[in-house]
Structure 1
Amino acid sequence: MSSSVIDFIATEARFGARNYEPIGVVLSRGEGVWVWDTEGNRYLDCLSAYSAVSQGHCHPKILAAMVEQAHRLTLTSRAFHNDQLALFYEEIAALTGSHKVLPMNSGAEAVESAIKSVRKWGYEVKGVPDGQAEIIVCANNFHGRTLGVVGFSTDPETRGHFGPFAPGFKIIPFGDAAALEEAITPNTVAFLVEPIQGEAGVIIPPAGYFTVVRELCSANNVMLVLDEIQTGLGRTGKLLAEQHEGIEADVTLLGKALSGGFYPVSAVLSNNDVLGTLRPGQHGSTFGGNPLACAVARAAMRVLVEEGMIENAATQGARFLEGLKDIRANTIREVRGRGLMLAVELHSEAGRARRYCEALQAKGILAKDTHEHTIRIAPPLVITSDQVDWALERLATTLTQDLS
């Protein structure tokens, strides 16, 4: 590393909270699937800011929408109407088939908003006794890092020394429909679950799981809340991951790719019953639904559809997955994926996945480890066949090495 790179990293360490452990590269520019560091080295981005940059870095049409709106009006608060919010509502509802929309900023805010909303629905519509609402979640979940969310995490690193935590959550195994059926009681208001557990290492549930989940929730008047913040908007080769099993959630959470990486934008999408219980003053956000966010999100959704990114994710994801499975390496325990949401899990004897991510960096690929032995691979949805093949060559070379 050059002295300037070391200076950037050292300054971060000196002034910043140590709540991240980034790969040792300092990025300064991005375009499409590529990013460049401060020394001019080019890398294929295989993380996409955890799927937030699905449309590619600095997409020109999203950038143009952002700049145009920034010249006109950026923030009014929800004390007044603005000329972008209604259009955002109309377009996201048309795209997803939703009835009501609650705009927020971060994905974690969307999760917290959904928790509040389904509890309120439980008390005012379902008739659950006050203070007794239960929400079922899954082990190894990741729904953000707010205090409310980490209270039902099963990751000790996430929970340690942050308590006490709010009650009202039951934790069951992911992908186990029988466990869900057993956990439901008359006080259950919702089942909050990721269609694919991303942070846990791209864990895909058994085929048919969500079909049964949908039936159980409907039969017991339980809101099915799908956290599609990582899986949604084309990442898995469908607009929403729920479409792989032909179901519809009662509440859908979107974020990350909703702005194409330009601005924090998230949304809670629901039927009328859940969001219909909210009244003025009961929930809100100064920046949620601001005109700049809405203009950016509208452009991000538009290019996703108009430029065929969802279909490309399905095509290139299948190519990438097949190529990863073809790599014959003693280091690999399992390859998993759907669309361009992929993971390579290494045998524990191979050592930490971070070492392989650092080796990939040296070959021009940026990926990130999760859960010690898993490499996540999630390039922008604009990746081409040639770029997939280029990445596979370097992954094959790296994964056949013994870096333990």
Structure 2
Amino acid sequence: MGQGQQERVTTSLAGAVAEEIGASLAPVDAELERRYPGDPGTRQPVHTVYVPGDAFTADTLRDWGDRALAALDEHAPDAAAFAAALGLDETLADDVYARVRAKLEREPVEDLRVDFEDGYGSRPDAEEDEAAARAARLIAAAYADGTAAPYMGIRMKCMEAAVRDRGIRTLDIFLTGLLEAGALPDGLVLTLPKVTYAEQVTAMARLLDAFEKTRGLVPGRIGFEIQIETSQSILATDGTATVARMIQAAEGRATGLHYGTFDYSACLGVSAAHQASDHPAADHAKAVMQVAAAGTGVRVCDGSTNVLPVGPTEKVHDAWRLHYGLTRRALARAYYQGWDMHPGHLPTRYAAVFAFYREGFERAAARLARYVDRAGGDVMDEPATAKALAGYLLRGLDCGALDPAEVARQTGLTRADLEGFASPRRGDLTATAR
């Protein structure tokens, strides 16, 4: 057959066969769409900061940023000192240090949770009522005047019998206070701690449904995070992964799975000296969480370190190196969010995040550009890899590690283009390939 001659195409199966198969798989298609909608395509904060309900004030966000800057001034007054303390590549030192300081001045906290659980404890009802109402008033005011973190909310008490009613009341006071102040902010986040059974997640979903109906809100408006800090939340008595059932029990309201380092470690009998986010028990739990959440649109958040960067410079540097290393380790394992317990953790959180994205930026941008242009290279990438590359660049942009102009220059793509690659629901990954 000569070149350019049209190929003769023949088939054997009747069209009815494909139709029958399509009909038989229609329920599966619908189930896949419902259970695995993919990433929501929204910004994920790099951390969550916890502040006890009685300690939260209108100045908390700025105070954390100022205290973090003061820690830098005292213990790492320039890029060289900071890089030496962390073992940061000298070629990145100036850029990362400048970005860290700018971040602490501009947006020191990306996600703040006013804590009414372990960080708050048991208080007289009148006292917790007042603290919950104050949290609502201050958060509403922060969103109104533009001083809020991108994400803010509360961690209530859990659904266990002893504290259930108290937790429900605090949540009601907080949400009602936000509505009385105007509306629920777009960055609202709620955290349900110490979840053991999927039924507790269902109860939370029903509670929020009842609130929405009472206040005339759009159904499903309010989501929540599930905190994983008990062994039962990972493995059920029948040997199945409880956390997978919890995601489904949330009825579409689950937004995140947060690993609780110390409660979970203690639950397994890990001694205090070895309770850390890089313990094998922690790695197992987070791996199960990661697999259960994959494709569901629910994001996984790492835990925290309880080693605080306080005291003389030598001790601060030791704590910084630990926190920096744990954060870099988590990022490599695709845990893009973690907890920060002290203002002194902010410099190393952002240093680790910025270094992670700065180090890989040029190669990731070049790979994505080659994929888009269908050009060759030393790596043969597929659509799934293009999705990961775009997601990497978007996360770097969101946190301030990368600048829009340099990403556009290196990739030839706009942010909208990147979002199209990162979120398949926005269009076929191959559609934008030139």
Higher relative contact order (CA 8 A, sep 6+): 1
TM range (shorter): under 0.3
Structure with greater proportional strand content: 1
Structure with greater proportional helix content: 2
When the two structures are superposed, what TM-score results if normalisation uses the length of structure 2? 0.26
